[in-house]
Amino acid sequence: MKPAQQNKLNGHKEFEFTKSDFDKIRALIYRRAGIALTESKQEMVYSRIARRLRATGTTSFASYLDSLEKGKDDGEWEAFTNALTTNLTSFFREEHHFPILAEHVRQVKEPIAVWCAASSTGEEPYSIAMTLCEAFDTLTPPAHIVATDIDTNVLATAEQGIYTADKLERLSAAQIKRFFLKGKGDQDGLVRIRPELRQMVTFKPLNLLASGWPISGQFDAIFCRNVMIYFDKPTQGNILARFAPLIKPQGLLFAGHSENFSYVSDAFRLRGKTVYQASDRRVAAGSADTVEAGTPQ
């Protein structure tokens, strides 16, 4: 590596961070989670992994990565993966999807099962839960949601279901009153999702690259939004092929606004804006240690 290139990468950083370090991190996170980091992510990677160096008392990226590769510390592998996972979410993000979901579930046979494959801090699965409640006009609809994420930190937040009130800006006053409990006293400014909605959702850690998924049965809808953009095309195709047998014949797959699966897999056909439906050409796949679709845990 040329000295000028090295200086540009390091600047006035606390830790030395070489191109070799960055390339090793890219390889590790790709192998672990399928995330394909571009060259433009160097500053982000430095910032997030430098926190792990401080937390572990490590003095260099080289020694941290060497320890990570040689060791069997699942906790640090989990922390490493969590650090590089982006979790941008909000209630009713890409809101055009939710009326489509509501219309779909009204037309299918009960009970309803939905898989949210990138739960993050819970806003998406709870938005799905609110949509199902409104579709059936009850806080206890005949439905269950399985919500998964690779990041265990955000899953812990999601399970609590507690948010700052400003997170509800996209919701109507009627929705806030119906679906949330407002905090009082030292909890002022916070809201909690109603227990009826919380009981609709099973949260579970899941790595989409794992050889076996803790999922079984078939779903009326799968939400996998703004996740595939971090994967290369072969990885996207493999994941879509594994989704196919887990979705009902008329089930829907919801993608993110910048994702297009039409040229990646023939397992799904485009139905509308970032909404797909299972095609006739499906690929069988198995799973183990499963959570049944539609079954609360």
Catalytic status, residue 149: yes
Distance of alpha carbon 219 from alpha carbon 254, whole angstroms: 12
Active-site hit among 21, 149, 151, 220 = 149
Going from the C-alpha of 236 to that of each of 34, 99, 240, 279, the distances in angstroms are: 9, 26, 6, 17
Residue (of 227, 205, 223, 225) closest to 214 by Cα position: 205
Give the C-alpha distances (Å, rounded to integers) separating 158 from 21, 45, 125, 198, 205: 33, 25, 9, 9, 12
Q: Which residue among 32, 48, 198, 271 is the active-site one?
A: 48
242 is catalytic: no
Distances (CA, A) of 61 to 4, 22, 80, 97, 147: 20, 9, 12, 42, 34
Q: Is 83 helix (H, G, I), strand (E, B) or coil?
A: helix
Label the pairing between strands 268-272 and 275-278: antiparallel
Catalytic residues: 48, 149
